[in-house]
Amino acid sequence: MKTQHQLRRIVNFVLAITLALSVSLTWVNRIAYAGYGIFESYTILDTGSGNTFYDCNADTSNPDFDGNDLGDYKVTDTLTLNGAQVKAWENDGDNLDSAEMFYRLYLTSETGGSFTSVNLPDYLDLGGNDEQYEDTDAGINLLSGLEAGDYYLEVYFRAHEDSGGYAYDGNAEDAYQATFTVLANTSQGSGDWDAITWSYGHEPTSTEPVEIASGHTVALDGAANAMHLVVEGTLNLGIDTLTIADKGTLENNGTFTASNGTVAFAGDGTVAGTVTFNDVTLAGGVDFGASSTINGMLQINSGGYVDTNAPTYASDSILKYNTGGTYGRSTEWSGENNPYHVQFGNNTTLDLANGDNSTARTILGDLTIASGSTLNMGAGMNADLTIDGEVNIYGTLALAGGSGNLKVGGDFTKQSGGSFTNNGSYVYFNGGGSQNITGALSGSSNRFERIIVTNNSTVTFNNNVGVESGLQVDSGSTFQTSGTPNFEQEISDAGVLDCDGTCTFDRLIIRNMDASGSEGTIDVNENFVINNATSNFTAPSGEVTFTIAGGFDSNITSGTFDANGGTITFDAGTGTQDLDAASPIAFSTLAVTSGSTLVETQSANNVTATTISNEGTIRKTQSVAGTGAISFGLTGVEINVTTHGGLTNLQVDLADSDHAGKTSRIGNGKYWTITPTGLSGDVVTVTLPHNISSPNNVRACRYTGTGTYGWDCGTDAANSYDATTVTRTGVTAFSDWAPGDNVGPTAITIRNLTATSARNNWQPLALFLSAAIILAGTILLSKQRHKL
């Protein structure tokens, strides 16, 4: 019986003959060119009983293809497209050399995609300019990978002429069309994921569409597989793994209970409906749709990626990059769906920017980089990476080469074997509570560019920390040491030490740095070192308190030291501190706390101060090799050796406090202790500074000890003075020294006068006589002093 398609072909054939002499090549439905064409076509299918020819452009006893319902099939049944047969004609001068069939398969509820070509290689000359092309064993399994539903199977045919032309029988818009239905392996009731539960009579495989019917509850009792899974009832994963095959789907319209289970996508896949996962692994591109959530871990393995739609990451969930090699961050972390924790493993290197240098990224929890793996922010990234939790580096963390910085809300730890590269980016510590920096983060490759503390709390560094351009600590924040690590500025570029809050170091080592801040505190628990000959250091000014508990070591020889009007305080508690200046440096205000001893170590007098506030001791020791003048730096003392005997060293200690043996005119507010080594036959001249406002007969007095004569102030001939200094010649002994104002050669202090009891009546008379004698002696001594 003729179909409507066949009747149309007869009409078209007549029209084609009429237009054969036309210059234009006109397609008229099934006949493409008047010099050759297709006059019969068949589709060859095997539905389980061998090949069957289905009439397309033919009228035989075979079943028609167009409009045929091919039936219902399980994916375990047979529906094979084995090819086609095409019969064509050609005029003399034309030469057909091949033919092919095109087919496509799609759900009736969807729009068809592209056609696939099947070559028909078997040629047969039918005589009379007719020929046949055929393939009967193409072996195309039409059921493979299909989900349950109704499908269209569409075909059309084309013959090729060797000059480049074609003859068509149908086309993409007007193809022959048949239908068939794929049946799911459907649950027959509630139960475990085993054979008796399913309509196919066996446990679902990775090639099958699976459906859990409404009202049924199925629980995994081991590893399970499906090609396409539709949940209309309830699925419980338990602790097991459900694997969705490549190009599979997972659709939930019922209840999906992940528990502690895992869904593994073996290749490309699609998620539909609302699905809350525990763990998911990806080995292909997976579209998670609009309503997927990860409660456990999303692990991206080799070949895996998130396609089009990413899941939502629940609190404490993990995004793990496990691909190996280099992976470009993509949809899984778009900037809108920020992951909670992020981990790296399997020697994976993540290119965080991946061409998008302007989008900021956030990790809501912790970052953990396993040994051998790398997080690389990207050479040109200009947006920040914010990590609200901890940073744990077992592998490599490389910051942006652009203007993008790292902001950390938790602890920052570089484990042994880990690597950190700053690439010029800053690290902000901005958590709301205390934070720690742990690990060897100094040296040529692991140091910070700059640390900026804005957490309104405390950041503690537990190991050596190096910076290139400095440290900034906001008001209300504290940057402090734990133990005895160094904090070191490790390159010579200009840097900043800006403490509006509190900075506490064990050892502070700098090269070029501007120490500033408006009202902060800088504490150095041990040594402060300016570590480069060409360094430039600007001390803090204003209300900043800069306190050093250890030594001060300046290696500046051609750089600069700018005191900046600020105060640097030396506070060793009850210990000593070295002040080592390789070249001249000038403090604005230098302060030494009570109990501290500040020792100038260089023989050259390289240290000066506009103001000295000394509540402890300032010390300088100089070697003596012969005669000549020797200066003792901040102590202000000069000693000129006029006769050299056995003297090898002189130590001068300055105390800006009252001497224990002070009198009304000697030892008030300042004295020096001069200690010789090897003194034997030496004679020196001692010059002391003084600040007596109206000097009168100022003398350099040596304390000789309680119980003798108190202070030895020498003679007028031995002493000379001006407005700021007093000099005494002929000195052969040392102890404590102080300037005396308007004193004689020997100052006697009467410390105690106590009357004792007597057993007779002479006690009042004896007391009177003693007082008279003392008074007379005093008057005589006064007259002698004025004569001198």
Per-residue pLDDT, 532: 77
Structure tokens at 613: 């506030």
- Confidence class for position 22, pLDDT limits 50, 70, 90: very low
Per-residue pLDDT, 24: 37
The least confident of 617-626, 656-665, 701-710, 736-745 is 701-710
Residue of higher predicted confidence among 9 and 666: 666
Domain 622-747 fold? Chondroitinase Ac; Chain A, domain 3 (2.60.220)
Per-residue pLDDT, 21: 34
Does 760 score more than 70 pLDDT? no
Per-residue pLDDT, 492: 64
Per-residue pLDDT, 734: 97
pLDDT mean over 760-782? 44
CA dist 92 → 36, 224, 692 (Å): 9, 63, 134
* Residue range 332-379, pLDDT digits in tens: 999 889 999 999 999 999 999 999 999 999 999 999 999 999 999 988
Structure tokens at 204: 């679902």
Per-residue pLDDT, 136: 98
The amino acid sitting at 415 is: Q
Is the alpha carbon torsion for 198, 204, 209, 213 positive or negative?
A: positive
The amino acid sitting at 291 is: S
pLDDT mean over 397-410? 95
Distance CA 261, CA 256 (A): 11
pTM of the model: 0.77
pLDDT mean over 629-633? 98
Per-residue pLDDT, 221: 96
Contact 102/116 with Cβ under 8 angstroms?
A: yes
Does 453 score more than 50 pLDDT? yes
Distance CA 518, CA 507 (A): 23
- Confidence class for position 705, pLDDT limits 50, 70, 90: confident
Per-residue pLDDT, 703: 95
Distance CA 389, CA 278 (A): 22
The least confident of 374-388, 396-410, 609-623, 738-752 is 738-752
Same fold across 4-183 and 622-747? no
Contact 178/67 with Cβ under 8 angstroms?
A: yes
Per-residue pLDDT, 9: 47
Helix (H) or strand (E) holding 235: strand 234-236
Structure tokens at 536: 């430039």
Q: What percent of the chain has pLDDT over 70?
A: 89
- DSSP strand E in 302-429: where? 305-306, 312-313, 318-322, 325-328, 341-344, 348-351, 361-363, 367-369, 374-376, 385-387, 391-393, 396-398, 406-408, 412-414, 419-421, 427-429
Structure tokens at 758: 């007597």
Per-residue pLDDT, 707: 53
* CB contact set of 754 (below 8 Å; sequence gap of 6+): none
- Cα-atom radius of gyration of the chain, to the nearest Å? 49
Structure tokens at 133: 């092309």
Q: What percent of the chain has pLDDT over 90?
A: 73
Does 750 score more than 60 pLDDT? no
Averaged confidence pLDDT in the chain:
89
Does 234 score more than 70 pLDDT? yes
- Confidence class for position 514, pLDDT limits 50, 70, 90: confident
Domain boundaries, the chain: 4-183, 186-302, 315-416, 426-615, 622-747, 760-788
pLDDT mean over 288-304? 98
- Confidence class for position 96, pLDDT limits 50, 70, 90: very high
Question: What would the DSSP string read from start to end of 71-84?
Answer: EEEETTS--EEEEE
- Confidence class for position 408, pLDDT limits 50, 70, 90: very high
Contact 501/473 with Cβ under 8 angstroms?
A: yes
Per-residue pLDDT, 754: 38
**Answer CATH for 4-183 from 1.10.3470, 2.70.50, 2.30.30, 1.20.120:** 2.70.50
- Confidence class for position 229, pLDDT limits 50, 70, 90: very high
pLDDT mean over 555-565? 84
Which residue shows structure tokens 């790296």?
A: 344
pLDDT mean over 504-514? 83
Helices vs. strands in the chain: H and E counts, helices first: 2, 76
* Residue range 54-63, pLDDT digits in tens: 999 999 999 9
* Residue range 455-499, pLDDT digits in tens: 999 999 999 999 998 899 999 999 998 877 888 887 767 788 888
Contact 556/579 with Cβ under 8 angstroms?
A: no
End-to-end CA distance of the chain: 157
Query: What is the number of alpha carbons within 13 Å of residue 432 lying toward its C-beta?
Result: 1
The least confident of 42-56, 93-107, 436-450, 607-621 is 436-450
Contact 237/262 with Cβ under 8 angstroms?
A: yes
- Confidence class for position 27, pLDDT limits 50, 70, 90: very low
How is the beta sheet containing 217-219 ordered, strand by strand? 191-192, 217-219, 234-236, 255-257
- Confidence class for position 210, pLDDT limits 50, 70, 90: very high
* CB contact set of 572 (below 8 Å; sequence gap of 6+): 549, 550, 593, 595, 596, 597, 598, 616
* Residue range 159-176, pLDDT digits in tens: 999 999 999 999 999 999
**Region of residue 517 (phi > 0: left; psi between -120 and 50: alpha; otherwise: beta):** left
CA dist 634 → 30, 339, 587, 605, 775 (Å): 110, 60, 11, 8, 44
Contact 654/618 with Cβ under 8 angstroms?
A: yes
The amino acid sitting at 733 is: A
The count of residues in the chain is: 788
Question: What would the DSSP string read from start to end of 379-408?
Answer: TT--S-EEESS-EEESSEEE--SSS--EEE
- DSSP strand E in 624-705: where? 628-631, 638-643, 649-655, 671-677, 683-689, 699-705
Contact 197/212 with Cβ under 8 angstroms?
A: no
Is the alpha carbon torsion for 97, 173, 1, 182 positive or negative?
A: positive
Contact 492/532 with Cβ under 8 angstroms?
A: yes
